A and B are shown apart, each in its own frame.
Chain A
Amino acid sequence: MASRSLPLLFINLGGEMLYILEQRLQAQGIPGDKATKVLHDIIGAMFSRPFLLELFKPQEVFSRPALHSLYQRLAHTSIMRLNPTSMDKLYDLMTMAVKQQVLLCPRPRDLLFVTLNHLDAAREMVRESPHALALINNTHHVLIDTYSCMTSGEFQVIRQMLLYFFQDLHIRVSLFLKDKVQSSNGRFILPVSGPVPCGTEPPGTIRIYNNVGAVMKTKTFPVEGRYEPPVREGFLDPYGDRVTRLGTNMYSAAQNLDTQKQGKRSMTNAQSCLAPDPLATVELNLLADLLGEGQGCGRLNSDGFSFNLFAGDTEEGDICMSAPASCENVINIDASKQSQLVAPELQKVLLDLHSDSTVLQASTASHQTSPQRKHRSHQPSPQRQPRHLLTTYATTNIASPSSSRTPPSCYRQQHPERTTSLPPDVGTP
């Protein structure tokens, strides 16, 4: 049912976010205690009971830009600060990974096992924290209560809703291209071999029955794919074998997680922002508020650090916004040279602007102070950037508790074309 799609979407995307952050933190040598704290904080916010209660209410799926703002808020419940470029790239990776998982689900019910794989991984990340473990176990129970007795038809409706959420997204991910799960045009490769899902038989047999129901004749037909007998059903208990590998951590420390948007197709009207739905706005505000009650929201505390998520992956480095001079134990992670050119005063200004959700202007200013910065294919040019990001991140006002509540531009998947009148020369077959 479409009204039950959001929890699965959120947990799967959140799970991918945790994988990517863990990999990037490790790849960039962030100290273990800080890295662990980041992941713990995010998991604590993501699976907090009030947030979960709201998340699991039957409601419609938000648009991609709206969920982007929610994940940005989620990321910033930790002591880590991501600049907009990093957040964009992180979200691109997350969405493409989950799109692949939803697309490749052998049967609709496997969506639940994919989600449980993400939950299992989160459980492993916080295995030494009883409080976080309890939150995850509670989430597990709620998941099973909500989804375990759904029929295959209901799961398929949910899966179709999730596929609509990901429709027309063809961002190329270097990891997927390398592993040959994605082709160069951004489309995922659908296998025509391997085990068939539980409940299905490998294609190739026709059985004719007589009038008493006995098999009278069996014929075969040629099948192009190489299919194997079905796998067994996964287990739903907290430490059970999910059988499917979809949703498990596919990132290792040495991997390049570069992404590239495929022309304009990924910005189609399926996800463009139009006038917001008031009910959805209220719901998204509520979820964002619930996330914002976690530790580390708003301004950085003394443990905080700014994090350039994908520095070193590509030639161009993102501008890193460092912590304000007043904070102690600040760590600058940016591997590029540009950040060293940013004056301490500007750093403080940048941070203030970020907290007041005018990070857009800050990023623009930072770009302009970095003469060595090269233009990236998937990043809008600095001249266009403010308008683009303002459109996309109008919701940042909602995410930041210190700013005034400005209604966002859009949260729902809207179709911009409105054919209120038909063209006069329409052809009739």
Chain B
Amino acid sequence: MYKRAQSIPLRHSASALGNNLAVLRPPDPKPPCSLSVVHGRGVSLLGLASESEAGRNVHSQRLLHCKEGGATARRAEPLQGGRGHCKEGGATARRAEPLQGGRGHCKEGGATADSTLIIQARWCVLVSRVLLVVTSRRGIQMYEEDGSAMLYWQALELPEALDTKVEFARGIAAVAGLYICVGVSSGCVLVYNIPPRGTNITLCNELYQHAHAISSISSETFGDLERTVDMVSADDGGVICTWKSGEDFTLIQKLPPYGCACTSVVMWRGIVTAAYGTGQIRVYDGTTGMLHADIDAHARWINSLDVAPATGWVLSGSEDSFVRIWKIGEMDQVDGIEVAHLHSECVKDVLVCGAQFCDTRGDSFAVTGYDLCEILCYVKT
């Protein structure tokens, strides 16, 4: 069903992180797209030229580092603690102290250097702009689409007591074309209001439903079509929450935990597809919370999920070296939901850490693996 296409070489190998491949898919048919892969303290940003018979040519490749506040970046106001959040009795006041040092490298901040390790990078497509959001142990940074300028950064509080849990940010999604939601290891989801232009990005909401570190946030934009749910968040405890965005984000469903970390979650037409560390994929109704189907999909931890918005095809990538494509269709009252396995691809001896469709229909996809210095590409035959 798919064949191997020309790989895209990377200057730096991909790190073993969940969802370690981001693809920016402009809406035009067969567009050139951008890809990003996290390597340690840097994010490789690749711009691809138009597809040719020879395959995709890399137009540009740059390594973006997790820097602290540039001249144009807006430094976030310190977060006020005590908004009812705590699973530890109020001890973790999440004050975001802007890091000292201004421009320069993260190591000048004086904290331990691998807290500048990047956890995730994602493009957020909003109504009037596209931002690149990068999360790390130190905080959250938002850049212009090409990474050329940092627009906003939010520091996470460094733990004061030695035995408090480590803070990091993980899980990024654009919601309703207006907001960017970012998860934090404490379980909070930060909601940022993004203006059509400029750096006046504000933290407008903090959602406290998860008790474990957020692993993934996903959303679905419907244009004019109103849905009852448009955002889903998942955490390391296996809890999934579905939300309706707005001035106040409304919790629609909080699905009970399934005994293992939920590593990645996507939503398509109100149907939530969630991948777990046990290798299972579960399909839920986002509005009612009902379990529609489950799939014993992989033999190891699933690192990545993606959905092709035009077809509803779901792509899963796992540490078992397999990438699989599923058709998850609409609910039928008689037969239940349609779930079918479409394709399996064995990426030999590779611990897959990112797998994303490169177009909206699922006609091509890209895969990254730990220690791999290339992005593997596959196209439909």
Show the binding face of A for B, using Cβ within 8 Å: 1-3, 57-61, 103, 106-108, 151-154, 156-157, 159-161, 163-164, 167-168, 170, 183, 187-190, 192, 196-197, 199-211, 213, 216-217, 219, 221-225, 227, 268-270, 274-275, 277-280, 412-415, 417-420, 422-423, 426-429
Known: A57-B162, A190-B349, A199-B259. A412 touches B107 (CB 8 A): yes
A160 touches B17 (CB 8 A): yes
Known: A59-B112, A206-B295, A415-B42. A196 touches B260 (CB 8 A): no
Known: A216-B336, A221-B341. A426 touches B113 (CB 8 A): no
Cβ distance B174 to chain A, nearest Cβ, rounded Å = 17
Q: Does B146 contact A (CB under 8 A)?
A: yes
B105 touches A2 (CB 8 A): no
A167 touches B13 (CB 8 A): yes
B112 touches A183 (CB 8 A): no
A192 touches B336 (CB 8 A): no
B24 nearest CB neighbor, chain A only: A429
B34 touches A167 (CB 8 A): no
- What residues on A are CB-neighbors of B293 within 8 Å? 206-209
- What residues on B are CB-neighbors of A277 within 8 Å? 107, 112-113
B62 nearest CB neighbor, chain A only: A426
- What residues on B are CB-neighbors of A413 within 8 Å? 40-41, 113-114
Interface size of B by CB at 8 A reads 88
A182 nearest CB neighbor, chain B only: B349
8 Å CB contact of A160 from B16, B115, B260: B16
B351 touches A103 (CB 8 A): yes
Q: Does B137 contact A (CB under 8 A)?
A: yes
Interface stretch, picked from B86-94, B272-280, B307-315, is B272-280
**7 A–B contacts from the bound complex (CB under 8 Å):** A153-B237, A209-B294, A270-B40, A419-B64, A420-B67, A428-B145, A429-B24
8 Å CB contact of A203 from B145, B146, B296, B351: B296
B299 touches A200 (CB 8 A): yes
Known: A108-B277, A199-B278, A426-B60. A153 touches B236 (CB 8 A): yes
B277 touches A156 (CB 8 A): yes
Q: Does B48 contact A (CB under 8 A)?
A: yes
8 Å CB contact of B300 from A107, A219, A222: A107
Known: A190-B351, A205-B295. A426 touches B148 (CB 8 A): yes
CA–CA, A222 to B64, complex, Å? 41
A429 touches B261 (CB 8 A): no
Chain B, range 150-197, C-beta contacts under 8 Å to A: 159, 162-163, 165-166, 168
CA–CA, A164 to B63, complex, Å? 17
- What residues on B are CB-neighbors of A209 within 8 Å? 290-294, 336
Cβ distance B133 to chain A, nearest Cβ, rounded Å = 17
Q: Does B5 contact A (CB under 8 A)?
A: no
- What residues on A are CB-neighbors of B370 within 8 Å? 103, 163, 167
8 Å CB contact of A163 from B15, B336, B337: B15
8 Å CB contact of B322 from A153, A164, A206, A224: A224
Q: Does B364 contact A (CB under 8 A)?
A: no
A183 nearest CB neighbor, chain B only: B349
- What residues on A are CB-neighbors of B346 within 8 Å? 192, 224-225
B339 touches A208 (CB 8 A): yes
8 Å CB contact of B162 from A58, A199, A208, A418: A58
CA–CA, A389 to B340, complex, Å? 57
Cβ distance B317 to chain A, nearest Cβ, rounded Å = 13
A225 touches B320 (CB 8 A): yes
4 cross-chain pairs, A with B, having the tightest CB-CB distances, nearest first: A153-B236, A427-B60, A221-B341, A412-B113
A153 touches B277 (CB 8 A): yes
Q: Mark B97-126, 1 if CB is under 8 A from A, else 0.
A: 000000111010011111101000000000
A162 nearest CB neighbor, chain B only: B16
Cβ distance A229 to chain B, nearest Cβ, rounded Å = 11
CA–CA, A378 to B104, complex, Å? 36
- What residues on B are CB-neighbors of A199 within 8 Å? 259-260, 278
A208 touches B336 (CB 8 A): yes
Chain B, range 346-370, C-beta contacts under 8 Å to A: 346, 348-351, 370
B70 nearest CB neighbor, chain A only: A420
- What residues on B are CB-neighbors of A200 within 8 Å? 278-280, 296, 299-300
8 Å CB contact of B261 from A156, A216, A415: A156
Question: What would 10 more interface pairs be, CB under 8 Å, given A107-B301, A225-B322, A280-B113?
Answer: A2-B168, A153-B236, A170-B371, A192-B322, A201-B280, A201-B296, A206-B341, A224-B344, A268-B13, A269-B12
